């Protein structure tokens, strides 16, 4: 027990303390405790809401990044099947998106993106294909369909991990 409380107790025992003072002191102590409790509750609530907002904003940014990458990769893959090129500048936007993913995404996502980048580059280096060959390649297991599914699955797992 602190010295001040001990003195207060002794005075109360000696009847030198006014009973109104004890009531006022109890009311003041209750108000302080109630105020601190209210402040702590508000602070913890605000902190949880801020974390949830930050998590949702990060998720939204990653979803947009993944969507941009998928759109770019699919378009380049189809172009690569029908065109040969010695100009690597077509791949630059895809590499930029992949680099942005390396800053924020899980390793599984970036590894899936690298596999897709390599497949697109190989398609650019290969022979041009006819429409029938392109169609067959798009639905073939192990082709771009499988790579897109693997990338999408990695993205989904990464986004789901943000929910926890």
In the chain, % of residues over pLDDT 70:
87
Question: 6-15, 86-95, 150-159 — which is least confidently predicted?
Answer: 6-15
The count of structural domains within the chain is 1
Say whether pLDDT at 33 is over 70. Answer: yes
| pLDDT band (50, 70, 90) for residue 32 | confident
The verdict on residue 15 lying in a domain is no
Residue partners of 37: CB distance under 8 A and separation at least 6:
none
Residue 56 to residue 50: CA distance in whole angstroms: 10
The verdict on residue 119 lying in a domain is yes
The verdict on residue 107 lying in a domain is yes
The verdict on residue 132 lying in a domain is yes
Angle at 78 between CA 81 and CA 64, to 5 degrees: 145
The verdict on residue 74 lying in a domain is yes
The verdict on residue 115 lying in a domain is yes
pLDDT at 7: 65
pLDDT at 155: 92
The structure tokens 């949830």 sit at 52
pTM of the model: 0.69
The verdict on residue 19 lying in a domain is no
| pLDDT band (50, 70, 90) for residue 4 | low
Say whether pLDDT at 6 is over 70. Answer: no
pLDDT at 135: 78
Which structural domain, as residue segments, surrounds residue 139? 57-162
The verdict on residue 43 lying in a domain is no
CA nearest neighbour of 112 among 144, 139, 134? 144
């Amino acid at each position: 027990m602190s010295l001040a409380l001990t003195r207060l107790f002794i005075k109360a025992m000696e009847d030198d303390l006014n009973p109104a003072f004890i009531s006022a002191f109890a009311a003041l102590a209750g108000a302080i405790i109630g105020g601190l409790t209210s402040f702590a509750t508000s602070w913890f609530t605000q902190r949880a809401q801020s974390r949830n907002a930050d998590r949702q904003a990060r998720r939204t940014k990653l979803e947009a990044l993944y969507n941009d990458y998928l759109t770019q990769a699919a378009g380049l893959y189809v172009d690569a099947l029908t065109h040969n090129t010695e100009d690597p500048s077509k791949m630059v936007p895809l590499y930029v998106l992949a680099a942005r993913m390396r800053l924020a995404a899980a390793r599984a996502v970036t590894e899936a993106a690298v596999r897709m980048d390599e497949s697109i580059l190989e398609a650019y280096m290969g022979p041009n294909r006819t429409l029938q060959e392109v169609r067959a390649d798009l639905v073939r297991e192990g082709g771009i369909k499988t790579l897109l599914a693997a990338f999408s699955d990695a993205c989904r797992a990464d986004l789901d991990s943000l929910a926890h």
